[in-house]
Each structure stands twice: as C-alpha cells, then as structure tokens.
C-alpha cells in the first residue's frame, strides 16, 4: 500500500513496486488520478487497486487498513508517503498550520503503522517504510511544522523497528532531499536552479531516485535492515 500515490514521489514508488511484482494498493483523496495510474500499471503487466482516503481523518485511516487486509487477505508493505506543507516563518505560523501538518504528516502514519502491525505480525512479515525529509534531520526556515513532523517520523519509526523486530516486521525511513515534484515546482524555477547548484550531485532528485530506495527496503533482501534512515538527497546532508 502506498499513500499519496496520485502524483509525485508516491506515484513513482507505486509504479516501481508494481514493476517489482507487488500488487499495489494506491491511496490518495481522489480516485481519478489513481484510476489512471492503475490503468498504466496494468498496461505494463502489473496489478493495482484503488482506495480513496483522507489521511487527516484518523478513523478513515484505520478503516482503510482494515479494508485492505480484509479485501486482499494480507498487507506486507506499507509505504507512508503522503505529506503536505503549510510553510511560514515561526513567528507568523498559526496553530492551525502547525496542527494540520502534524496531523497529515505524522499522526496518520502512527495510526496506519499501528493498524498494519497486527496483520503483518500474523503473517510474520512486514515492511513499514515512512517518507520523512532532510528537513527532519537539519531543519529549514519556514518549516517548523513540517520539520517537527518529519523528525517525529524518524523517532517513531526507530521505536516501531524495536517493538516489532522479533515479529519479522521491519520499519525504516527514507529521507528525500530536493525532489522534482509538484510540491517543489511550486517554489519556482529560479529557486530550483539555485538548489540544484548547491547539491553535490548537481541535480534535483527524481521520484524514481526515491522509488529505488523504497524498492530495496521493501525487498526480502532488506530483512536485516531496520530502524534506519536512508537519506536520498544527492549528497546534500553528509
């Protein structure tokens, strides 16, 4: 299951996991872009189902996981990718903008991982992969809410890793740097060009760069890797 699969990084992750041979549950708020992606995955010989959910609604997140497990019989890989920004300098950031970002970017992941843990333990196999950000490691002016959520993901995932390791369930974080998606395109071409110059690998990342990291962490071969933060940022933070 991949949240935020309708576009950007989530779309790339879902496409990659489908190419790896997984049946993928595509999650976002609206069905149309997910149906289009399902069509693309099937045309390439893969398998996908669509499930709409507003992750800001905790009970809907619980229901989502329950319905996936009851419809599919199992849930092996949970990729919590969906995320939002409500940027603003600390002194001007409203309580609402703090709360909504924490709710969608952190609380929904807590609820999804908690709900997925039982079925994964029953199957003695699970891969929880949570998408954080380099902002969660080093902070970023204008993103106190986002940085708090993304750093929270890291502490929470390390805890999940310790709690479920003996049950065959791993939990890891991927921390992307500057990735070319609609989220970053909103910053404007000038900002992106300047950002690319400061990245040691001299380019912005692509969704596929993140998808390959997720593909590894989701694989059978990554079974001895848990509680880790895999930074995929072209060398920005090293």
Residues making contact with ligand NAI (CB under 6 A): 3-4, 6-10, 28-29, 53-56, 81-84, 104, 131, 133, 176, 178-179, 181-184
Q: Which of 15, 26, 106, 146 is catalytic?
A: 146
Give me the least distance between CB of 140 and ligand NAI, in Å please.
Answer: 10
Give me the least distance between CB of 54 and ligand NAI, in Å please.
Answer: 5
Give me the least distance between CB of 215 and ligand NAI, in Å please.
Answer: 16
Specify whether the CB–CB gap between 110 and 156 falls below 8 A: yes
To the query of whether residue 146 is one of the catalytic residues in this protein, the response is yes
Residue whose CB is less far from ligand NAI, 81 or 226: 81
Residue whose CB is less far from ligand NAI, 157 or 165: 157
Residue whose CB is less far from ligand NAI, 161 or 233: 233
Residue whose CB is less far from ligand NAI, 75 or 179: 179
Taking Cα atoms as reference points, which of 84, 88, 78, 153 lies closest to residue 117?
A: 78
Give me the least distance between CB of 200 and ligand NAI, in Å please.
Answer: 16
Please identify every residue annotated as catalytic: 146
């Amino acid at each position: 299951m991949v949240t935020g699969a309708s576009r950007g990084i989530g779309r790339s992750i879902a496409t990659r996991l489908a190419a790896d041979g997984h049946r993928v549950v595509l999650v976002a708020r609206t069905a149309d872009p997910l149906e289009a992606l399902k069509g693309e995955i099937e045309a390439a010989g893969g398998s996908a189902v669509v499930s709409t959910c507003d992750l800001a609604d905790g009970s809907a997140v619980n229901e989502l996981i329950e319905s996936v497990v009851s419809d599919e019989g199992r849930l092996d890989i949970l990729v919590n990718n969906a995320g939002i920004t409500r940027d603003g300098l600390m002194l001007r950031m409203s309580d609402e903008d703090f709360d909504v970002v924490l709710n969608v970017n952190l609380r929904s992941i807590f609820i999804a991982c908690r709900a997925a843990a039982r079925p994964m333990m029953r199957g003695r196999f699970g891969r929880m992969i949570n998408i954080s950000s380099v902002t969660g490691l080093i902070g970023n002016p204008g993103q106190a809410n986002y940085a708090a959520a993304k750093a929270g993901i890291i502490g929470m995932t390390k805890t999940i890793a310790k709690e479920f390791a003996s049950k065959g369930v791993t939990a890891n974080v991927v921390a992307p740097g500057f990735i070319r998606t609609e989220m970053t395109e909103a910053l404007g071409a000038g900002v992106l060009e300047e950002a690319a110059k400061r990245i040691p690998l001299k380019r912005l990342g692509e969704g596929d760069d993140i998808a390959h990291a997720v593909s590894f962490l989701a694989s059978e071969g990554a079974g001895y890797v848990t509680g880790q933060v895999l930074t995929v940022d072209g060398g920005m933070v090293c």
